[in-house]
Amino acid sequence: MRLGFSLVEVLVALSVASVAVAATAHSGWSILLARHRSDVEHSATLVAERAMESLLARDPNQFRIANSSNVATDAEGEFAVHTVVEGGSRDNLWHLSIVVTPPRGGSPVRLHTLRRCRWSVR
């Protein structure tokens, strides 16, 4: 009877262990990337909400048809903000739209709402 492991057994054990470590490292990297993407999308959502709140705080009777773009800077970078104010489906409605595109090509965040004003203002 001999004691210990053969060289083949040690190599097989090391290869199984290295595959397990590589899979764990890949999972960790995927988690970090997903977390960063989530942080950027959250920041884009906050920028879009702030832009929409500033539109909603205005008097709807003072709205004019507009299509503008600007840049908002946040902790995650510079976000492209596209604002559209257009006439709604009825004479006393305005359609407000905000599209915020995160830096480095993330998915855009879109917010839309309708705002009512007095009749025959537009």
Whole-number mean pLDDT of the chain?
89
To the question of pTM greater than 0.95 for the whole model, the response is no
pLDDT at 120: 55
Tens digit of pLDDT for each residue in 66-88? Answer: 999 999 988 888 999 999 999 87
Distance CA 71, CA 103 (A): 10
**Closest alpha carbon to 80 in 88, 70, 95, 89:** 70
What does the domain layout of the chain look like in residue ranges? Answer: 7-116
Q: Which amino acid is at 54?
A: S
Fold of 7-116: Pantoate--beta-alanine Ligase; Chain: A,domain 2 (3.30.1300)
Residue 122: band (very low, low, confident or very high) from pLDDT cuts 50, 70, 90: very low
